[in-house]
A = this chain, B = another copy of it.
Amino acid sequence: MLDQDLVSQEYFYNFLTGKYSIAVMRRLQRNLKEAGLSITSEQWSIMYNLWVEEGLTQQELAIRTFRDKPSVTRLINNLERLNLVIRVNDKNDRRSNLIYLTKIGRKMKEEGMKQANNTIEQALGGLTDDQIALSHTTLHRVLFNLK
């Protein structure tokens, strides 16, 4: 491969190294902070899934956030320390923890989603609905390919 190919394919390599994603997550982090929510974007991703559905197992959260089990264990540890979620041992399968939001965690939903939507608007500004929809298809395929 020639050097000029390296450069012309820069987009692909930016994708490989997470450049786009770093940009988006950093902005989300900043927006959350400015809104007075002291959670990280990673913690947000757990909270988001619980806002959609409570009582998920850590395993299920790992799948939905595409993180591994140890990462989820530690994210839940930190969220529990912040009094945003609690672990409830599953009576039917004592291996599992079911994760529930606390009152504070539930109350955070409104502002948390607002900042998420802000971030998305900032990221996608100037793009048409068609462009966005097509990228959706593409990224969905990427996830399917790599799963």
A139, B127: Cα distance in complex, Å: 10
Inter-chain contact B20/A143, CB cutoff 8 Å:
yes
Inter-chain contact B127/A16, CB cutoff 8 Å:
no
Using C-beta atoms within 8 Å of the partner chain, give the interface range for chain A: 35 or more
Counted per complex, copies of this chain come to: 2
Query: A5-42: contact bitstring with B at CB < 8 Å (1 yes, 0 no)?
Result: 01100011111111111111111100000000000011
Interface of A is mostly: helix
Question: How far is the CB of A48 from the nearest CB of chain B, in Å?
Answer: 6
Give the contacts of A84-143 with B (CB-CB under 8 A). 113, 116-117, 119-120, 122-127, 131-132, 134-143
Which A residues have a C-beta under 8 Å from some C-beta of B?
Answer: 1, 3, 6-7, 11-28, 41-42, 44-45, 48, 51-52, 65-67, 113, 116-117, 119-120, 122-127, 131-132, 134-143, 145-147
Ordered by A's residue number, 15 sampled pairs between the chains whose C-beta atoms are within 8 Å are: A6-B51, A6-B113, A12-B120, A14-B143, A16-B25, A16-B44, A16-B120, A18-B21, A18-B24, A18-B45, A20-B142, A24-B146, A27-B146, A132-B138, A135-B135
